[in-house]
Amino acid sequence: MAGAVNLLVQSHPINSALSLVAVMASLAAEYLLLGAEFVAAVQVIVYAGAIMVLFVITIMLLNAGAEERTKGSRIATLLGVPGVTIGAVLVAWTLLGRSSTTHSVSIGALWGAPKDIARLLFHEFLLPFEVTSVLILIAIMGAVVLASRPEAGARGTRKDEG
Amino acid sequence: MVPLSYYLVLSGILFGCGVLGFLIKRNIITIFMSIELMLNGVNLSFVAFAAHWHALSGQVFVFFVMVVAAAEAAVGLAIIIAVYRTRETLNVDQVNLLKL
């Protein structure tokens, strides 16, 4: 299902953001099939919502057009496509060859209820959870500092000069 | 009933597409999106293994990966905006010096 959408991601120039949204949505459906309803909801909210909005806004802000081909990209294409294909085929062959030893995953068995996840998250993983909140705070501050115009910091000195 | 290996193969394909885009694309935003694609592939394998072993902590890990991806996207896009302001380009081949 997502494999077809996948190929779109490769061929699109800069509006591959939209096909990435499609991949996110199909992955959310995949999570629902796996019974992970909480993860599916978070996937839609965080990825398809927040992160993709960030990407699209950046693309529009920077007025990004189609990319041009360079020598380096051609070399990367020549070397990368066969290499990744060989790797993917090897992984698929290994996994499918051993699939008899692994059980199948039952679809629609909703055992990953949000209640259980919350219990696990706030009891056993409480410290990592708090650490990630600090990480998010630092990331927000760093993003604001990086994206703010450099003139904003130097406005005081410029006013003195003027 | 879908075998576990199908999910793993799909996540491997997603990760491979991410690596491929990372190598081929020369637009810095597209490279960033390929990184997100790789993270998604890993997330899918996390969820598949969590469903396989009936271990809920796999889904908690997916949650943490998403949090880190969100933080990384915010900081990375801010860096991209800063780079574009000073260099007026999005091509990674032309961004080869840390110093102007």
B55 shares contact with chain A (CB less than 8 Å)? no
pLDDT exceeds cutoff 50 at A87: yes
Task: Give, for A104, the enclosing helix (H) or strand (E).
Answer: strand A104-105
pLDDT digits (tens, 9 = 90+) for A137-152: 998 888 888 877 766 5
Distance CA B64, CA A128 (A): 8
Cβ contact B31:B92 at 8 Å? yes
B62–A143 C-beta distance less than 8 A: no
Cβ contact A26:A19 at 8 Å? no
Indicate yes or no: pTM above 0.90: no
A15 shares contact with chain B (CB less than 8 Å)? no
* Partner residue opposite B26 with nearest CB, options A73, A87, A120: A73
**Considering only CA atoms, which of B12, B91, B3, B86 is closest in space to residue B45?**
B12
Distance CA B44, CA B11 (A): 6
Domains observed in chain B: 4-87 (1.10.287.3510)
Residue B47's CB is within 10 A of a number of other CB atoms, namely: 28
- Determine the pLDDT at residue A156: 46
Task: Give, for A131, the enclosing helix (H) or strand (E).
Answer: helix A126-147
pLDDT digits (tens, 9 = 90+) for B12-71: 888 887 887 787 777 778 888 888 888 888 988 888 888 777 777 788 888 888 888 888
Q: Which long-range contacts (CB under 8 A, 24 or more apart) does A64-70 make?
A: A64/A14, A64/B27, A64/B29, A64/B90, A65/A14, A66/A13, A66/A14, A67/A13, A67/A14, A67/B25, A67/B26, A67/B27, A67/B30, A67/B90, A67/B91, A68/B26, A68/B91, A69/B26, A70/B26, A70/B91, A70/B93
**How far does A154 lie from chain B, in Å, by closest CA?**
16
Mean per-residue pLDDT, A46-59 = 81
Cβ contact B37:B18 at 8 Å? yes
CB contacts < 8 A (A, B): 229
Residue B88's CB is within 10 A of a number of other CB atoms, namely: 9
Vertex A109: Cα angle to B47 and A113 (nearest 5): 70
* Of A161 and A30, the one with more pLDDT: A30
Q: Is B87 helix (H, G, I), strand (E, B) or coil?
A: helix
- Determine the pLDDT at residue B58: 80
**Which residue out of B60, B86, B94, B95 would a mutagenesis test of the A interface target, given it has the greatest number of A Cβ atoms within 10 Å?**
B60
- Determine the pLDDT at residue B83: 81
pLDDT exceeds cutoff 80 at A6: no
**How far does A21 lie from chain B, in Å, by closest CA?**
10
Mean per-residue pLDDT, A109-117 = 66
Amino acid at B22: F
- Read off the tokens for B50: 């969590």
B66–A43 C-beta distance less than 8 A: yes
Cα Rg of chain A, angstroms: 22
Q: Which of A22-36, A97-111, A135-149 has the highest mean pLDDT?
A: A135-149
* Of A13 and A118, the one with more pLDDT: A118
Mean per-residue pLDDT, B93-97 = 71
